[in-house]
Amino acid sequence: MVENRPLLTVISHLILLVGILLIALPIWITFVAATHDEARMLQAPIPMLPGGYFWENFKRTLFGSGLSGTEIAPVWRMLANSLAMAMMISLGKISISLISAFAIVYFKFPFRMGFFWLIFITLMLPVEVRIMPTFQVVANLGMLNSYWGLSIPLIASATATFMFRQVFLTIPDEMLESARIDGASPMRFFWDILIPLSRTNIAALFVILFIYGWNQYLWPLLITTDADMTTIVMSIKQMLEAAEQSPQWNVIMMTALLAMIPPVFVVISMQKLFVQGLTETDK
Amino acid sequence: MATINLDQLTKSYGPDEVLHHISGDINDSEFVVIVGPSGCGKSTLLRMIAGLETVTSGEISIGGKIVNEIEPADRDIAMVFQNYALYPHMSVRENMAYGLKIRKTPKDEITRRVNEAADILEIREYLDRKPRQLSGGQRQRVAMGRAIVRDPQVFLFDEPLSNLDAKLRVQMRLEIRKLQKRLGVTSIYVTHDQVEAMTLGDRLMVLNAGYVEQFDTPIELYERPASMFVAGFIGSPAMNFLTATGGDGLVILDNGTALPTRLSTSGPVIAGIRPEHLIAEPEGVLPVRVEMLEQLGANTLVHGVLDGSDIPIVASVTGIQSLPVNDVVRFTPGPDALHLFDANTERRLS
Ligand SMILES: Nc1ncnc2c1ncn2[C@@H]1O[C@H](COP(=O)(O)OP(=O)(O)OP(=O)(O)O)[C@@H](O)[C@H]1O
Ligand SMILES: [Mg+2]
């Protein structure tokens, strides 16, 4: 829609600016807090301009023991844990969903629709609902305090299966028939044609799932007791409670800042594919 | 090269039988067109030959070998689809090479064959483009190219030209015909366009509601249509049909006109006369009240009704004619222009 109405333009820009400010302000405060020393952060009013302790806080948070006087693992370790968990969840979900959607769309087997609905029903059972039995299973399998325990229960995914099913349904039947005449086996068709054609959808889903995995809080909290297995999101909450004296805002905010970087990096690097994946119809 | 034999082929979807006992033999290097109205089962028949649909009963043989249970890839066929079905993420070259690559053809052999096919179809300059960067006509050529590089025993085409504009369609039609003659590959071509069918096919299989109405050369279909369906389907504008009563060496139309014929018939019959075989004559036996004219330049179509009735008649007269609407013009069928059909079975009385 191309319109030329100055007032409308001004108003819409104003609304956008207010929106950006609302979203950006907390991030700015986080950043500012990460650049001051501990003492300054406890004085009111809180500073609105950056101070000179950024590198010091950065080093202390990332490589040091973080919060003074606690048993928390260094933040780089938590970042690595979170990264491993988020990657395992997103890649695991994508591969399993691709394969199950492939089976459901392209193969005739008994109770095919039954299986589809069975998968679909799990939508109604997110981890929070089935948390006790899931914990029991993971504990019995001896997967507490491990990456497997962190990621596997979150991998089986109806949403992704459902989405890939829709994507596959939009691919014309002739594509399959053409490949059959060309002599492609089912797996060959899957690799050479389905995967490349779903490329943008895979990227979009990866972004969403990575952030989903990265932001997991309850589940990691439940199954990790070992400080070495802490993820960054749960650590922030722990840091708030851990210190017996007043919270060390500079370290906590630096941790928060570091915690934001990987998701932002994923979104930015996948942006083009992500947008294509959500909007593209050219098949 | 190969012959194709269809023996009592039947196809059912659940309880619905959509193809009924189709039989026919296609010779080596022959170009056969399957033609019929929408939904008559043309694509289904072609897809059964390709192996993309299962056979309910009957047998399909290619090159003398029964292929009912053989995978499409092993039938040595190539197929061109209506929407081309090119792989969108592969370049033209990769699209053409894909089948060969799967068959583990040596690299230099693939390159040679792709280039050769690209030269034949004049698509060499597009080899590195993606399908979406091509026009409809170019995509069509790529789809043909993909079929050619395989060097198959049989080409199967399912309405490959229906997405093109009229002019390009005529041009591609000629090219397909020339290409088929040059390569000598047995071909089956599905279309609902009778002009396309008449110009392309060595023989035409006319399908109607899953039955073969007639399987013959274009000229034979035109001159001796086996049924009213074929008579009405082949030729444009469609044949006029008039109810009549048979007699000895003549038929009497409902308005009392007697038309001579070489046949002796009795009872109710249908007389068919092609519009282009009606000749305007002052003494003509068919008085037609003109309702509308269609000027096509080379000829003029006269739409009207048989005077004193509401039986529609179309006549095609050469050149540009201007006849006043509502006037009565008299026509006479040319010699041998009369086709007679049984009024009940709608089959030809010969
Ligand atoms: N998968 C299917 N299940 C049930 N009926 C089907 C199926 N595929 C086709 N049919 C039926 O079979 C008949 C023939 O279909 P087909 O596609 O062969 O027609 P067609 O002659 O190719 O028509 P068109 O010119 O429109 O392409 C139709 O009546 C159609 O409804
Ligand atoms: Mg069809």
Residues 99-128 of B with CB under 8 A from A: 99, 102-103
Residues in chain B: 350
* Contact across the interface for A188 and B102, Cβ inside 8 Å: yes
Higher pLDDT, B188 or A153: B188
Nearest protein CA to atom 28 of ligand 1, as residue: B39
Min Cα–Cα distance to chain A from B88, Å: 7
- Mean pLDDT, range A244-264, rounded to an integer: 83
* Contact across the interface for B87 and A193, Cβ inside 8 Å: yes
CB count within 10 Å of CB B12 equals 12
Give yes or no for residue B42 having a pLDDT over 50: yes
User: How much is the pLDDT for A154?
Assistant: 87
Residue type, A282: D
- Mean pLDDT, range B29-52, rounded to an integer: 95
Residue type, B62: I
User: How much is the pLDDT for A2?
Assistant: 61
Q: If pLDDT is split at 50, 70 and 90, which confidence band does A243 have? A: low
User: How much is the pLDDT for A67?
Assistant: 60
Residue type, B148: I
**What was the ipTM of the complex prediction?**
0.84
User: How much is the pLDDT for B263?
Assistant: 85
Mean pLDDT of chain B: 92
Tokens of B3: 């012959």
User: How much is the pLDDT for A23?
Assistant: 92
User: How much is the pLDDT for A226?
Assistant: 82
User: How much is the pLDDT for A156?
Assistant: 76
User: How much is the pLDDT for A280?
Assistant: 59
Alpha-carbon distance of B271 to B265, in angstroms, equals 11
At B338 the three-state DSSP class reads strand
Q: How far is CA A167 from the centre of its chain?
A: 22
At B299 the three-state DSSP class reads strand
Residues 18-57 of B with CB under 8 A from A: 47, 50-52
Give yes or no for residue B258 having a pLDDT over 90: no
Residue A65 burial (C-beta neighbours within 10 Å; 0-12, 13-18, 19+) = middle
At B269 the three-state DSSP class reads strand
Q: Chains A, B: CB contacts under 8 A, how many?
A: 58
Tokens of A271: 């942006």
User: How much is the pLDDT for A283?
Assistant: 46
User: How much is the pLDDT for B308?
Assistant: 81
Inter-CA distances, A117 with A127, A156, A170, Å: 19, 14, 20
To test the contact with chain B by mutation, choose from A175, A176, A178, A180 the residue with the greatest count of B C-beta atoms within 10 A, namely: A178
Give yes or no for residue B326 having a pLDDT over 60: yes
Tokens of B347: 């089959």
Q: What is the pTM of this model?
A: 0.83
At B298 the three-state DSSP class reads coil
Ligand 1 pocket check for B52: Cβ under 6 Å? no
Nearest ligand to residue B206 Cα: 1
pLDDT tens sequence across B124-154: 999 999 999 999 889 999 999 999 998 999 9
User: How much is the pLDDT for A279?
Assistant: 67
Alpha-carbon distance of B154 to B160, in angstroms, equals 15
User: How much is the pLDDT for B231?
Assistant: 95
Residue A163: phi and psi, rounded to 5, are -65, -45
Residue type, B129: R
Higher pLDDT, A1 or A25: A25
pLDDT tens sequence across A183-200: 999 999 999 999 999 988
Residue type, B191: T
pLDDT tens sequence across A119-174: 888 888 877 888 888 899 999 998 888 899 889 888 877 888 989 999 999 999 99
User: How much is the pLDDT for A77?
Assistant: 86
pLDDT tens sequence across A245-254: 667 788 888 8
Higher pLDDT, B262 or B24: B24
User: How much is the pLDDT for A34?
Assistant: 85
Element housing B216 (H / E): strand B211-216
Kindly state whether B85 is in contact with chain A, defined as any CB-CB distance less than 8 angstroms. Answer: yes
